[in-house]
Structure formats: structure tokens, C-alpha cells
Structure 1
Amino acid sequence: MNSLKAYWKNYISAYHGLSNATWLLALVMFINQSGSMVLPFLGVYMTTVLDFSLENAGIVLSTFGVGSILGSLIGGWLTDKFGSFKIQAFSLFLSIPFYLIVPFFKTFETLCIAIFFLSFIKELFRPANSASVSYYAKPENLTRAFSLNRMALNLGYSIGPAIGGFLAAVSYSFLFYTNALMSFAAGILFIIYFKNRKGHAPEKIIADKSEQIAKTKSAYADSKFLLFSLFIAIYAFCFFQILNTLPLFYKKVALMNEKEIGLLMAFNGIVVFVLEMALVHFAEKKFTLSTNMIIGSLFCGASFLILMPSHMIAILYLSIFLISISEILVMPFASTVAVNRSLPANRGSYMGLNGISFSAAFVTSPLIGTYIAENFGFTNLWIFNCIMILVATVGFYIVMKKM
């Protein structure tokens, strides 16, 4: 009982000190991601409604990842050049017409193009939003501010697919139209609150921004951060199996139906929503950045390791719980590393490269993961993931020691 009280006390204290602007950024993220119901159903839409082959559906999904990579790359550069406010507003509102017209593209070639540009425009938002979090959060609350933002993202991802399931039962077009509506709502709220609002960056830095950019190097010239980003990409490759090969494993090997799979996937969002703020608040006080990244990475490996001997329902839920804890410990602290490594004048490029590391997994994870599962079996895929996690863990230890 005392431990439960201590947990909730720690959970509540995790929110103390966060600025109103930090909360509003999280609310904008939540509204925007609540509308992100297209991606979980995109594969089903293509194979059932458009009658695409699995191979062509996989290629279209990969174009989403390619668009995300370029969006993160260019979004970081645009954020440094024009500021995070303009880029976030641009992304939110320009994505609206793309959501509205995607249902009219029904051939493989045209849908590849439409999904690429939709993903590209949508992903411009991420590095700009991350730069805003670091701008409006107090330095001592930075990791918790990123955690709150991610918690909002995860809550949105939990609610979005749940709503999307009901909409898809009526018409898949409603998914795209609802996404457009949510982007519009998030954009209006963002502009009303953040227009002309000042953050915690020193006035001199703002005034001398162009001069600083000339003097500070880009993230892409920072060899140690590039290496760190490579290990993040390796970790993300394994983590994002949760979006592609794990549901296939549940269906084909564990013989779960769609309802059971949906509940299992929703469990991830619930765990992250309930535990992230308190766990990050505890971890940032008790451990170093490096320790948190290493422990979190190992939890991801453990989530695949326990799937090898058994796929009982309790094991499946334990696996999702472990990968959720991994997500909590790795992702917000990875953003903190990017912020700590950067300066205000080049933060966009660092946050953009951080986003690219994760976006790259959207391309490689479904392609390589499904190939290994189909040709060598799921057990060998889990072994491969465990090996990759060990590479990432050792990499985090070495490169963060040097950083």
C-alpha cells in the first residue's frame, strides 16, 4: 500500500514545474495524433478495398517511411532557417488537402506518390515540435517535457486506431476525412496559443541567430552524434516490429483474432500512458542518460527473447509490457541527448536527425522483418532482433561514454 502511494506521489510530482506552453504543445500533439488513424489501417485498405498484392502494399508502406525520412531531414533544416512556429503551422495545415485527396488515388503508382507527399508534409511537424518543446520547457524539466509530449502522442495513437476501426467499418474514406479535421483543429489551437509567444531561449541568442548558424556546425557534421543516431536506428528497427511483424505473429502463430490483437496492441498505449511520466521522473533522478538508454534497449531485446519458447497469452502481454518499458526509457532520453548535444541555432538539425533515425526504421523494419519471417520463420526473426539489440546496447555504451 505504501509503495502504491509512493508511486502516485512520484507520478503527480512528475508534472510539477511543467509550463503551460509545454502542456499546450502536448495537447496539440494529442489532437494531431488522435487523427493518425490512416497508417494502422492503410495496409488493410490497400489489400481489401484496392485489391493490392501484399508486395505492392508493402512498397506503399515503405514510401511512407521514405517520406518520413525526408520530412525529418528537411523539417530540421527549415526549423533552423524559419523557426519552429512557422514549420509546425505549415505542416498541420498543408497536410489537410493531402488527406482529402488521397482516397481519389486508387492505382499503385499514384498512391505511392500521394502517400509519399502526405508523409513528407506530416513529418515536417516532428523536428519543429521537438525544437518547440526544448524552447518552451525549463532546462531542469526538459526530459519530462519530452515525456509529456510523447505520452500525448501515445495516447493519441491509442485512441486514433480505436476510432478508426469504427470509421473503417462504414467507409475507409472517413479515415482520411477525420484525419484532415483533426489536423485542422490542432492547427487552429496551435496558432491561437503560440503566435508571438516567447519561450526560454535567451534574447541574445534569438537576435544573433543567423550569426550563430554560421558559426555552429550541423548535426550531420557531428560524427559522434551520427554514430549515436545509427544505434538509435538499429534499436528502432527492432522496436517498430510492433507495427508490422508482431501483429502477423499474433495472427499466424498465436492464432489470435483481430479483436484480441487490437486489445493487445492497445495495451502498449495504456502502459506508456500510465507509467511514462512517473518512470522517467524516477529514472532521470536515479540514473544517467547512458544507463537509461542501455537498460531500455535491453528491455526491448527481452521482449523478443521470451517469445521464442512460448506464445501463451500471458507471455504475449508480458512481451508488450517489456517493449513498452523499453520505449519509455529510450525515446524521451534519446531526444534529451539530441538537445544536450545541440545549440539553439542548430537544434532543428539535431532533432531532424533524431527523427530520421526512427523514420529509417519505418522503411527497413517492414521490409526486412517480413522477409526474415516468411523465409526463415519468426523464431529466427526474434533471434536476429536480439542480436541487433545487443549491437545497439554496446553502441550506446561506447558512444555515449565518448560524448
Structure 2
Amino acid sequence: MSAAATLTGPWRGLSPAVWILVVARAVNRIGAFTLPFLGVVLTVEFGTSLGQTGLIIAVFGAATIPSRLLGGQLADRLGRRRTIVVGLTGCAIAQLWIALSHALWSAVLATILLGLAFEIYEPPSQAMIADVTEPANRPAAYGLYSAALAAAGVLAGLLAAALSHWDLRWLFVADAITCLSCAALVALALPADVRREPSKEPTSTVSVWRDRRLLLLLASGTIFATIYMQLIIGMPLTLLEQGLPKSGTGLILALSAITLIAAQRLLRVQHLDDFQSIRIGYALLAAGLLVSAVAHSLAIFLVAAILWSLGDLFLLTRYLTQASGLAPDEARGRYLAVFGLSWGIATTIAPITVTQLLETAGPTGLWLTSAGVAAVLAVLQPWFRKRLA
């Protein structure tokens, strides 16, 4: 088998639209390293306390909730491609506003705008992948999506490490540029939106909210997303608390991305069902969090990043596969939007839990608590199987 075939093995035969989306999101991902530094920018550039920083980022997270719902509604009504372009353009405007802000009130308003635009493009992107992919191939398609984001994340982490030595505002300028580049690629390369005939069956938002399996999946996904966001928000603040260099966050992001790419090629996880994969993922995530709890040097934090990144490999794509599998075709955008609320809720909760636990229990208490929650979710997977499978 050729090297090219080995590289693309599980992804051969996927729709060209999937590859275009993957490339576009990878371009966007190269610049999307600002969120881990938002708390540092607020603390260092604007002099906010840990409590104020947590509250501002929580407001950002709350703003992403209507953003995700709007993205789902627009995806099913306006069209996938148009919605993606609208969301990315809004993100670029907000990022530039943050970079140009010199007063805290201006930065807060820009952060709220960023939240309102931040999740618009996710439901149409995920729905389009499901639209053009057979159910059996969706784990591979979402796996490709994650692998491409991880590959771009390597460069993102290195760029973050380099730019963090300068004014941190340049991070937001770089992200704005990649958002606009991604929007242009989507607008030019993806096929035009197809006008969908209205379904004869009622597909109101109420029917989506009545699906108990979706709500249970939303609850489980919210807990995972909260742990994930605690890592994104809490790791830079942990390094800051322990006097480690700001550039360490960029190195951790880069190593995390490299781990995801290498593990996806070396570990054959397609034969596992969703619940087996999720259980293994939570066990690895808990191990990485335990190592983070006892780490006092950058080298140990890098070891921890390898462990929790391996956990992410088993978790991220499987949750998307489960959510898309529950959705009827005509409401897929709304189903994925409702499931995606887990990230908005998590982004609202995580800044508060991170800053409060850092202030009261320190980094050890923060990561030990997170590890305990991950371990409980690993144990509960047979219970979830009975109610979701």
C-alpha cells in the first residue's frame, strides 16, 4: 500500500464537500488560539482580578448559547454555506474589536459580540458533513474533521507561543485574518446552498426539545465540554499561578495537537462502539488531569497534555456521531445546535469553576476535582448505553 493510501485510508471515498469543509476549518483553526489567552489578556492587559476575569469569560460563554441556536436555525432555513460565512465574518469583526480596545468596557462589549458570533458556523458545518456522509462513515468523517483541526492546531500552538512574547493583541488580529480566509474559502469552494422543500411533518423547535435521548446526550456532553473548557481556560491561568512562562500554553496546545494526529494514525479505534470509546476516553482524560494536579514544571504538564489529548481522541468524534445519529434529516441542524449548547453552557460554567477553585483550592484542587468527574463518567457509560443505544 502506498504512503498516500496509508495516510488517507479511513477517509477515502468521503464527499469533496467534507474535504473542503475540513480545509476551511483547518485554516480557521490556525488562528483560533485566542480563547485560551483571553483570560490572560483581561488579567494582564486590563488588570482584572481572577473573579472579574471569570465573570467576563462566563458572559462570553452565555452569549454562545443563542449563537449556537441561531446557527442551527439558519443552517436549516438560510442554508449551510451562507450561515458559515455569516458566522465567521462576525467572529472576525469581534476579534479585531478586541485587538483595538484600550478600555475594559470596550473589550467586554467585543467579547460579548464574539460570543454571539462564535458558534454560528458549527451547526451548519457539522450538519453538512452528516448530509453528505452515510451513517457508517460518519465516525471517519468527523475523525478527519478532528484530525485536520489538530494538524492546524500544531501550527496554532507554535504561533501562539511565538506571538505571546509580543503584544497579546496580535493573537486576535491573526485570528480575525484566518476567520476571513476561512469564510472566503467556504464561499468560493463549497457548492451553493440547495433550497429545501418544507417538510410535511412538523419540525418545530419544541419537537427537538422533546427528544429525551437528545437531552440526556446534552447533559453528558455538557459535563465533558465543561472539563474540556476548564483545560482551555484553566491551563494558562495555572501556568501563570505557578510562575511558568506564558509561551508554555502554546507548547501545550501544539503537543496536544501532535498527539491527536499521531494517535489517530497509530490507534485503530473504529472497531470500538461509541460507548466503549467514550469510556476509554474518560479514563485517559482522568489520568491526564491527575498528572496536571501534581505538576509543577512545564515538562510534567506536557506529559499530562499527552494523556488528556488521547482522551479527547476517543471522546470528541463519538459525541458528534451520537448526536447526528439521533437527528432526522430535515432537523439535523437544530439537533446538532441543541447538542452543541453543551459548549455554550460549559463556556459559561468553566470560567467560574476554574477561577473559584484556583482561588480556594489552587491548581491541585481544580484538576483533582475535574479528574474525579471524568472517572465517574467513565464508570457510568453502561448506564448511558441502556438509555441511548
TM-score normalised per structure 2:
0.88
Give, in whole Å, the separation in 1 of the partners of 2:224 and 2:362. Answer: 21
User: Which residue does 2:115 correspond to in 1?
Assistant: 119
Equivalent position to 1:183, from 164, 179, 182 = 179
Equivalent position to 1:386, from 366, 371, 374 = 371
Give matches, 1:201-280, under 5 Å: 208-214=197-203, 218-253=207-242, 256-276=244-264, 279=267
User: Measured at CA, do residues 400 and 358 of structure 1 come closer, stay the same or move farther in structure 2, by a change above 3 Å?
Assistant: farther
RMSD of equivalent CA atoms: 2.9
Q: Does structure 2 retain, via aligned residues, the 8 Å contact 1:14–1:278?
A: no
Equivalent position to 1:147, from 130, 143, 150 = 143
Letter in 2 for 1:48: V
User: Which residue does 1:203 correspond to in 2?
Assistant: none
How far off its partner does 1:25 sit?
A: 0.5
Q: Does structure 1 retain, via aligned residues, the 8 Å contact 2:205–2:334?
A: no
Give matches, 1:338-353, under 5 Å: 338-353=323-338
User: Which residue does 1:292 correspond to in 2?
Assistant: 277
How far off its partner does 1:164 sit?
A: 4.2
User: Which residue does 2:95 correspond to in 1?
Assistant: 99
How far off its partner does 1:113 sit?
A: 2.3
Q: String of CA shifts for 1:290-338, please: whole Å, max 9, x gaps.
A: 1111111121112123445565666433321111111111110100001
User: Which residue does 2:360 correspond to in 1?
Assistant: 375
User: Which residue does 2:322 correspond to in 1?
Assistant: 337
Give, in whole Å, the separation in 2 of the partners of 1:179 and 1:137. Answer: 30
Equivalent position to 2:269, from 283, 286, 292 = 283
User: Which residue does 1:323 correspond to in 2?
Assistant: 308
Query: In percent, how many aligned pairs have the same letter?
Result: 23
User: Which residue does 1:397 correspond to in 2?
Assistant: 382
User: Measured at CA, do residues 23 and 364 of structure 1 come closer, stay the same or move farther in structure 2, by a change above 3 Å?
Assistant: same
How far off its partner does 1:213 sit?
A: 4.6
User: Which residue does 1:202 correspond to in 2?
Assistant: none
Letter in 1 for 2:142: F
Give, in whole Å, the separation in 2 of the partners of 1:41 and 1:378. Answer: 18
Equivalent residues, number: 388
Give, in whole Å, the separation in 2 of the partners of 1:52 and 1:149. Answer: 36
Q: Does structure 2 retain, via aligned residues, the 8 Å contact 1:60–1:111?
A: no
Q: String of CA shifts for 1:132-151, please: whole Å, max 9, x gaps.
A: 11112343321111111122
Question: Is 1:29 matched up with 2:25?
Answer: yes
Q: In terms of mean alpha carbon deviation, does 136-145 or 306-315 score higher?
A: 306-315
User: Measured at CA, do residues 170 and 371 of structure 1 come closer, stay the same or move farther in structure 2, by a change above 3 Å?
Assistant: closer
User: Which residue does 2:40 correspond to in 1?
Assistant: 44
User: Which residue does 1:362 correspond to in 2?
Assistant: 347
3-state secondary structure, aligned to 1:214: coil
User: Measured at CA, do residues 212 and 297 of structure 1 come closer, stay the same or move farther in structure 2, by a change above 3 Å?
Assistant: farther
User: Measured at CA, do residues 387 and 134 of structure 1 come closer, stay the same or move farther in structure 2, by a change above 3 Å?
Assistant: same
Letter in 1 for 2:175: N
Letter in 1 for 2:344: S
Letter in 1 for 2:233: N
Letter in 2 for 1:185: S
Q: Does structure 2 retain, via aligned residues, the 8 Å contact 1:231–1:395?
A: no
Q: Does structure 2 retain, via aligned residues, the 8 Å contact 1:218–1:349?
A: no
Q: Does structure 1 retain, via aligned residues, the 8 Å contact 2:164–2:247?
A: no
Give, in whole Å, the separation in 1 of the partners of 2:313 and 2:137. Answer: 16
Q: Does structure 1 retain, via aligned residues, the 8 Å contact 2:285–2:374?
A: yes
**Please, which runs of 5 or more residues in structure 1 have no aligned partner?**
199-205
3-state secondary structure, aligned to 2:47: coil
Give, in whole Å, the separation in 2 of the partners of 1:208 and 1:116. Answer: 35
Give, in whole Å, the separation in 2 of the partners of 1:217 and 1:197. Answer: 26
User: Measured at CA, do residues 207 and 70 of structure 1 come closer, stay the same or move farther in structure 2, by a change above 3 Å?
Assistant: closer
**Please, which runs of 5 or more residues in structure 2 have no aligned partner?**
none
How far off its partner does 1:366 sit?
A: 2.3
How far off its partner does 1:88 sit?
A: 0.8
Q: Does structure 1 retain, via aligned residues, the 8 Å contact 2:161–2:250?
A: no
Q: String of CA shifts for 1:159-179, please: whole Å, max 9, x gaps.
A: 234334544555445433333
Letter in 2 for 1:368: T
How far off its partner does 1:30 sit?
A: 0.9
Q: In terms of mean alpha carbon deviation, does 45-54 or 126-135 score higher?
A: 45-54
Give, in whole Å, the separation in 2 of the partners of 1:227 and 1:126. Answer: 21
User: Which residue does 2:289 correspond to in 1?
Assistant: 304
3-state secondary structure, aligned to 2:200: helix
Q: Does structure 1 retain, via aligned residues, the 8 Å contact 2:157–2:252?
A: no
Q: Does structure 2 retain, via aligned residues, the 8 Å contact 1:89–1:187?
A: yes
